[in-house]
């Protein structure tokens, strides 16, 4: 380094070295700042995009869970109503057969009398044509109940199948969204690690720049000292030559 400085001072046409070095260092610093600002802009854009995706995913997951809860409540209520209808007791014989006549009831007379004072009216008189009709009605009612029960069981089976299919679909959807969230978390962690590495690189570059500035100041001080020494040496040589000449 010092031989180069001596050569620099011996050749006065190369005294522009410090300014040229400063120009190169300034250009290097400007390029580093531009590259750093570009990287920082990309990092900010990526962080904003990750935040938008996370917000949309959380909203979709919340809506999906609400829909799942609503569908589960609806299916449970329908299943409960269907089960209650299928288990409702029925006694068709009470409405088809008349109540037995009491032994202490008075016999019918030819003259109409006042109606009996009872809480329920008496059954109508039976005839020979009511028996087959009652049997046909009973058979028809029984078939209707069987058909209704089969239809209810079929609807219940369909509801259970639909409920199981929807539950499986929603569970798969929740698992898929959970995996997506985990992947996004991993990507965000990777971006944070990249950002940390970028910040570390930035600090390293800053330290390198500070070291270069210190080196520049040291070189400037050495340059000024050597320049003063050269001038002093030249003045001493001129003074000696002036003394030696008669």
pLDDT at 25: 67
Cβ partners under 8 Å of residue 9, min gap 6: 226, 227, 230
Whether residue 181 contacts residue 57, with contact meaning beta carbons closer than 8 Å, is answered with: yes
Model confidence at 136, pLDDT cuts 50, 70, 90, reads low
pLDDT at 118: 42
- Residue among 59, 65, 133 at smallest CA distance from 97: 133
Model confidence at 121, pLDDT cuts 50, 70, 90, reads very low
Structure tokens at 52: 């938008």
Mean pLDDT for the chain? 73
Structure tokens at 182: 């985990």
Question: Which range, of 77-86, 173-182, 219-228, averages the lowest pLDDT?
Answer: 77-86
Whether residue 144 contacts residue 31, with contact meaning beta carbons closer than 8 Å, is answered with: no
Question: Which range, of 23-32, 60-69, 85-94, 189-198, averages the lowest pLDDT?
Answer: 85-94
Higher per-residue confidence, 170 vs 124: 170
pLDDT at 92: 46
For 198-210, the pLDDT digits (tens) are: 889 988 888 998 9
Higher per-residue confidence, 93 vs 181: 181
pLDDT at 113: 45
For 156-190, the pLDDT digits (tens) are: 888 888 888 888 888 888 888 888 898 988 998 99
pLDDT at 103: 40
Helices and strands in the chain: count of H runs, count of E runs: 4, 0
pLDDT > 80? residue 226: yes
Structure tokens at 151: 């239809």
B/e letters for 49-65, b = 16+ CB within 10 Å, e = fewer, are ebeeeeeeeeeebeeee
Average of per-residue pLDDT across 235-245: 81
pLDDT at 95: 41
Whether residue 193 contacts residue 20, with contact meaning beta carbons closer than 8 Å, is answered with: no
Cα 112 from Cα 104, distance rounded (Å): 19
Cα angle value 168/174/177 (rounded, 5°): 140
- Residue among 161, 191, 172, 208 at smallest CA distance from 28: 208
């Amino acid at each position: 380094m010092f031989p180069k400085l001596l050569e620099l001072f011996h050749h006065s046409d190369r005294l522009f070295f410090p300014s040229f070095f400063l120009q190169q260092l300034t250009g290097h610093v400007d390029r580093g700042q531009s590259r750093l600002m570009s990287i920082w802009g990309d990092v900010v854009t990526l962080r904003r995009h990750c935040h938008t995706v996370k917000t949309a995913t959380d909203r979709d997951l919340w809506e999906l869970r609400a829909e799942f809860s609503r569908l589960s409540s609806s299916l449970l209520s329908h299943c409960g109503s269907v089960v209650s209808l299928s288990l409702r007791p029925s006694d068709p014989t009470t409405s088809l057969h008349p109540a037995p006549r009491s032994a202490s009831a008075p016999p019918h007379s030819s003259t109409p009398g006042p109606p009996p004072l009872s809480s329920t009216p008496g059954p109508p008189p039976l005839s020979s044509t009511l028996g087959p009709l009652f049997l046909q009605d009973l058979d028809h009612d029984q078939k209707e109940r069987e058909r209704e029960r089969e239809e209810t069981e079929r609807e219940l089976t369909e509801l259970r199948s639909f409920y199981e299919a929807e539950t499986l679909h929603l569970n798969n959807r929740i698992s898929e969204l959970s995996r997506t969230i985990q992947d996004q978390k991993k990507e965000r962690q990777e971006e944070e690690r990249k950002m940390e590495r970028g910040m570390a690189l930035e600090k390293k570059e800053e330290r390198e720049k500070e070291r270069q500035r210190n080196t520049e100041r040291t070189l400037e001080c050495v340059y000024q000292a050597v320049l003063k020494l050269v001038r002093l040496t030249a003045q001493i040589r001129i003074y000696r030559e002036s003394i030696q000449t008669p």
